[in-house]
Every structure is written in structure tokens, then in C-alpha cells.
Structure 1
Amino acid sequence: MTTFWTPRAVLFDLDGTLVDSAPGLGAAANKMRVDRGMPELPAGLYRPMAGSGARGMLDIAFAVSPDAPGYADLRDEFFSNYEAGMLSNTTVFEGVPHVIEALLARGLRWGVVTNKSSRFTDPLTRSIALFSTASAIVSGDTTPFSKPHPEPLFEAARRTDVDPGDCVYVGDDVRDIVAGRAAGMRTIAATYGYIGVESDVGRWGADGGIESPIELLKLLNLA
């Protein structure tokens, strides 16, 4: 594994990078199917699309796109279902707590930049003790923009009081890498996350990649 310099702050995407929210997202969509007299779909069908949120889940569950009639109502129903079961259906990926402990032990700051709405980000991160040490938690509606725009990453850098050029951003979607590069940060692709079957991670332009959270420490010369 190629290593590169140790940053002053490490920023992370949330879903598919720090936490596994796929079970809760799939369950929310399956409840909609059951409520309509339809059978549940296997969790494995939902998982690759978990990074796309409601859009991805509704596409799998009902083959509908955002421009379909009545989509807004379906989306709102999905959000309500997800919100009701979110806290009991979300877990931290194995190795993440150790990674955060290692960052803090070396005096590095860390934060979260997600496209998830604060409606969901805030209660979720408050419910998991790990996030109490984060210097920044930036949601999709914290700034007027969401990824792949770099502004959420700039906001996180401001909150951590670290220059963007001294930050690394870790995420499991091409939007994360595009946003990080636009913000002048080094970028790392988390290939253990919700990588769609058609995704070609090698074309994302990330500075590095990890197949598990713990590999981040080696990549950043922290192991």
C-alpha cells in the first residue's frame, strides 16, 4: 500500500464510510412495499444503491425516478419510515472507532461532511458517542450547496480550523472525490462502502483507496 503525508485533519463522508445505514434504508423501502401488499425485497438488492438515498431506494423498490408523478409523496413516506427506524438500524463500521481514537491520539482533528439532511444527521450522530469528538458535522443542508460542490468541505475545514490543503477527505462515492479535489484536499476512496456495480473507482481520481477503515491509518502513516 502506498502511503502519503499525514494531514492535520481527516474528514469523512457518513453513510457507507463511517456508518452502515443500508439496513435502515432498505427496511424503510420494504415497509412501503409491505404496506401496499407487495413482498419484501432482499437486502442485497438495496445495498449497492444505499449511497443514493431515497432516490436509489425508491428506484429499487418501485422502479420510479424523481420525475415520476407522485414521486414527492413516495419520497416523503420513505423519509418518515427511515426516520422511525434509523437509530435502531444503523451501525458503525468495524474498525472505525479505532481509527478515530488513533487520529485523536495523534492530535488530528476529524469531521463529517455528508449530503444527508440535518433532519437525519443530527439525531443519528447525537445517538452515537463516537461523534461527540468530531470537530465538524456538516450536513447536506448546512450550506446552500451539497456535494459534489466543494462548499460543504470548505465549511468543515473552517469549523476544524484547518486549511483545506491540510485535510484529507474519505468517501465511498465519486461525488466525494470530486468535492474533495475541488476543495484542494487529498482524497481517499472507501471501497468497502456503497460502491454501485457500475462504478469504476479507478476513474474517480482519488489519491488513494482503502478496502477497510483500518487501512486508513497505514495510508496516512499513522499505524
Structure 2
Amino acid sequence: MTPLEDVRCVLFDLDGTLIDSATDLGQAADEMRRLRGLPSLPDAAYRGSAGSGARGMLKVAFGLSPDDAGYAAMRDEFLQRYEQRMMHTTRPFDGVAALLADLVATGRTWGVVTNKAARFTLPLTASMPLFGTASVIVCGDTTPHLKPHPAPLQEAQRQLSLPARQCIYVGDDERDMRAGIAAGMRTVAARYGYLGVGVCTDDWVCDAAIDSPLELLKWLDCP
């Protein structure tokens, strides 16, 4: 194991990396199915696509893609329904609270860089005490670009006044790895997250991979 040396800040994706929001996302889409007389789908049907937000949920629930007629109206309905229930079952993954506490105790800063819009990100993180120690939260509409563009990570770096080489980015989607690399940061794949349907993380270009949140500490502290 090659340690991730000289790390002063750990930046995280949100959904599928720090928090498990798959059930709330899936149930918002499933409610739309039921209201249209369609049978309910199990939570497991939605889970793998949770990292793609509205696009992923509507694809599972209705087979819709962004180019399809009526997609925009369905997306808006989904977002309204998700906003009403987004804190029902969403929780941090096991080990996340302990991981963040360790980062703070060892003098490292941490933050969030997500494609989730501020409309959802800020109320959601404000509802969980563990986000009180975050040094930065960059949302999907903080900059003009979404990941895999490096701009959101560069904005976090700018706010923290840290060089990219002292930051790492942890995420559960290949676009997170691509964004981190483009921003000049080292990257860590969270293999416990949503990943995407049929995805093999072995194909991702990253500096490390972890199967649980606390495993990150081994990469940071190993001799």
C-alpha cells in the first residue's frame, strides 16, 4: 500500500460517498409510478442508479431519457417530490462520522463537492450535525459546470486556499475520478457507493480504492 502523503484536505462527493440517499430518491420516483397506476418497484431496482439523480431515477421508473418528450416536466415533478421527502431515510454511511472526526482530530480539513443542487444539498447537510465541521460545500450550481469538469473542485480549492497536490477527492462514480484528476488532485474510489449499473471500478483511473469509509484512514496513515 502506497500512502497518500501530505494530505491536508479530503474532499468528498455527497450521495453514495458520505450519505446513503438511495431510498429517498427511489421512493420519490416510485411514488410517481404508483400515481400513474404502475406497480411499485423494489428499492434495489433504483439503488444502482441513485448517483445519477433525476436522470437515473426516471430511467429506472419510466425508461425515460433526457432527450425524450415530456422528460423536463417529469424531472420537475420528481425533484418536487424528492424535495418533500429527502430527509425521510437518508443517513450517513456507517463509519462516516468516525472518519470525519478523525480527519478533524488530526488537523486535516474536509469538505463536500457534489453535483446535487444547493436547493437540496444545503438543507440536507444542515439537517445532519456531522456536516458542521465541513470547511467547504460546493454544490452542483455553485459553478457553471458539473463534474467531471474540474471547476467545482477548483472552486473548493480556491475557497480553502490549498494547492491541489495537498487535496484528495473521494467519490463513488468515475466522473469523480475524472474531475479530481483534471483538477490535479489525487483520487480515491468509494467502492461501497452506488457506482452505477454494471460498472467495474477496476477500470477507473484512481490512486486508491476503499470498501468502507474508515478504510480511507489506512491510506492516509499507513507507514
Q: Who is 1:192 aligned against?
A: 192
Paired AA for residue 193 in structure 1: G
CA contact (8 A) 1:19 1:93 kept: yes
| 1:58-83 alpha-carbon deviations (Å, 9 max, x no partner) | 01000111111110010001001100
Q: Who is 1:157 aligned against?
A: 157
CA contact (8 A) 1:126 1:132 kept: yes
Which ranges in structure 1 are unaligned for 5 or more consecutive residues?
none
C-alpha displacement of 1:38: 1.3
Paired AA for residue 73 in structure 1: A
The verdict on how the C-alpha distance between 1:222 and 1:35 changes in structure 2, with shifts beyond 3 A counting, is: farther
Which ranges in structure 2 are unaligned for 5 or more consecutive residues?
none
CA contact (8 A) 2:3 2:222 kept: no
C-alpha displacement of 1:6: 4.1
Cα distance in 2 for residues equivalent to 1:203 and 1:35: 40
Under a length normalisation based on structure 1, what TM-score does the superposition of the two structures give? 0.97
Cα distance in 1 for residues equivalent to 2:168 and 2:3: 13
Aligned residues: 223
Runs of 4+ in structure 1 off by over 3 angstroms are none
C-alpha displacement of 1:160: 1.9
Alignment of 1:64-213 (within 5 A): 64-213=64-213
CA contact (8 A) 1:171 1:189 kept: yes
SS of residue in 2 equivalent to 1:214: helix
Cα distance in 2 for residues equivalent to 1:214 and 1:6: 19
Q: CA RMSD in A?
A: 1.2
- Asked if 1:5 is matched to 2:12, the reply is no
Cα distance in 2 for residues equivalent to 1:11 and 1:100: 11
Paired AA for residue 18 in structure 2: L
CA contact (8 A) 1:6 1:222 kept: no
Q: Which moved more, 1:71-80 or 1:160-169?
A: 160-169
Paired AA for residue 136 in structure 1: V
SS of residue in 1 equivalent to 2:221: coil
SS of residue in 1 equivalent to 2:213: coil
CA contact (8 A) 2:157 2:164 kept: yes
SS of residue in 2 equivalent to 1:220: helix
Q: Who is 1:45 aligned against?
A: 45
Cα distance in 1 for residues equivalent to 2:4 and 2:166: 12
The verdict on how the C-alpha distance between 1:22 and 1:48 changes in structure 2, with shifts beyond 3 A counting, is: same
Cα distance in 1 for residues equivalent to 2:37 and 2:159: 47
